[in-house]
Chain A
Amino acid sequence: MEELPAVISTHGLTKRYRGGQLAVDGLDLTVPRGSVFGFLGPNGSGKTTTIRMLMGLIEPTSGTARVLGEPMPRAVRTVLPRVGALIEGPALYGFLSGRDNLLRYDSADPTADPRTRRDRVGEALDRVGLAAAASKKARAYSLGMKQRLGLAAALLRPRDLLVLDEPTNGLDPQGMREIRSLVRSLAADGTTVFLSSHLLDEIEQVCTHAAVMTRGRLITQGPVDALAARSRLAVTTPDTADTVRVLKELGVTDLETTADGKVTGDLPPDPVPDLADLNAALVAAGVRVRGFGLERASLEDAFLALTGEGFDVAG
């Protein structure tokens, strides 16, 4: 089991839609085996387009993509039975019951055993908490129930990789929590999970790795800890002006003062000063310190810092 190839790896993956829209631009993505990989990006940044290319639904304009070590879209028939996917929300046959929807999707997979079909469908329904509503027509499902049924379709067989495009969309808090624990238990069984989401604390809670896209380009990727690791010094004090002056002299950069009397700044990287010395220096300068310590930036802060805070979608 040493040096297994990445579950997903792309090189220079590019998609220009007919009509000229450059949706994904030279993407180099590596998803390690066994990771829970969060795929982040503002609306229209190319997440779904990337997933469509990975699943062989659309042909890349240039570049290559490998899924489970095989080239896509060429190896679709051998790779996709081992991949469960939820792409841009669920799609169901409204006139069929939830169970019949799953039976239909399962019979589309030529490698799925028809003898175990009913059992596997029943298990998948159980797993997403839909067993009681299995006989109801899918047309009568609520948004969250449809989402759950879509997830059940991805779980019809044991998978090596799950690709989930915004899986918690439309779910209630219990539902979200169940999905989180589902993702964790799948990951514990060795399934690699690749999920895109806008809910950053979602990602922070379940993901081991993350990548951030904007305007079709990958800005960063790596372990979540590393992405969110940027910690800032925070000093709560009534004497903000003096604090800023003293900290500046000590090499702290990017100092900001908030209205409620808090000064934050980045510690100088090399050598990292001892926090006790910083505190002593402040006190020696007559600054009254109410609170002192490091604040870990959330993934949301890191995300906004990377993608910019603008609300408008890139054209």
Chain B
Amino acid sequence: MSQAETLPTPAPRPGVLWQLGLFRSEFITVMRRWRTLALLAVLTGVPVLIGIAVKIDTNGGGGRAGGGGSGGDGGGPAFIAQITNNGLFLVFTGLAATLPFFLPMAIGVIAGDSIAGEANSGTLRYLLVAPAGRTRLLLAKYASVLAFCVVATLVVAASGLIVGAILFPLGDVTLLSGTTISFTEGLWRALLIAATVALSLTGIAALGLFISTLTNSGIAAMATTVGLLITVQIVDQIPQLHAIQPYLFPHYWLSFADLLRDPVYWDELRRNFGLQGLYVAVFGSAAWARFTTRDITA
């Protein structure tokens, strides 16, 4: 923030709201794109599909084989079995199903497009001569991608909660460790999990932002970011490559399930946060170094 704040301005010293003007404008602009709305629609749809699949499955009487089209592995099945008893578990299942791919893909698209898309349309040069300030613009862009991480996660969670409440009973929550907590406390845990999931996405958000500063093509930046995500997810599954896996940003993503234990098992959660912080620091600085020195000719 240093550069953005120490620079002299001819006008009287503006207030906080004034400083947030660019971020607000940025976030509103992102949210008004069709692409963003389409991504959010897909994210809303995942818990709906899972909910309906589980409902049909249980009505058909055929036991409760987990699956139902959810892409979730790891934490997934443990939740999915509980959905019929408690609709709140659809929130957890929905997040577990979207975290490996749909959520980060959405973030990759938004982050990848953030700078490159504006360079592509030429609006970047007008923002810079406004003058937005390169550091300030980059911060506003990253902040708005982070805000989108929160919105996207909340959309999945809210969709899961609503569909879960409609299709299944709600009630006390039996944790993975076997303890039972009240529904209200279950809701708090759900919120905590949503926050954790949103935080898990900060790494790929920084990566996408960096890639976005490298090119003048929004499509290329989005495709590269999503391509990297897929590659990393595949590498994370190959046993022979276990040596590098702890350094891959999705490696500890599903550790959010540990928040459903009593006591909470913090080990992997902490590692996840540390890893995301590392990615934010490395790719955030790289994006800054690149963007503040780059020739804007588009």
Contacts and interface: CB of A to CB of B under 8 A. Distances in A.
A93 B11 CA distance: 28
A55 interface: yes
Contacts of A114: 17-18, 21
Contacts of B123: 91-93
Nearest to B23: A107
B36 to A, nearest CB: 11
B34 interface: yes
Interface residues of B, number: 35
A42 to B, nearest CB: 20
A227 interface: no
Contact of B295 (A57, A80, A153): A57
A59 interface: yes
Given A88-B122, A110-B136, A114-B18, A95 B32 contact: yes
B65 to A, nearest CB: 44
A84 B158 CA distance: 45
A144 interface: no
Contacts, number: 108
Contacts of A106: 130
Given A91-B123, A96-B32, A108-B137, A77 B7 contact: yes
Nearest to A58: B295
Contacts of A96: 29, 32
A83 B133 contact: no
A113 interface: yes
Interface in B25-79: 25, 29, 32-34
Given A104-B29, A108-B137, A87 B11 contact: no
B29 to A, nearest CB: 6
Interface in B58-111: none
A133 interface: no
A153 B18 contact: no
A111 B25 contact: no
Contacts of B33: 95
B25 A107 contact: yes
Contacts of A52: 296-297
Contacts of B296: 52, 57-58
A83 B128 CA distance: 12
Given A85-B129, A92-B123, A110 B29 contact: no
Contacts of B10: 78, 81-82, 111
List 3 tightest A-B contacts by C-beta distance, closest first.
Answer: A91-B122, A108-B130, A80-B131
Given A81-B9, A87-B126, 10 more contacts: A18-B295, A59-B295, A76-B131, A77-B8, A78-B7, A87-B129, A91-B122, A104-B25, A105-B126, A110-B131
14 contacts: A56-B128, A57-B296, A58-B296, A58-B297, A59-B295, A76-B133, A77-B8, A80-B129, A91-B121, A104-B25, A106-B130, A108-B22, A108-B126, A110-B132
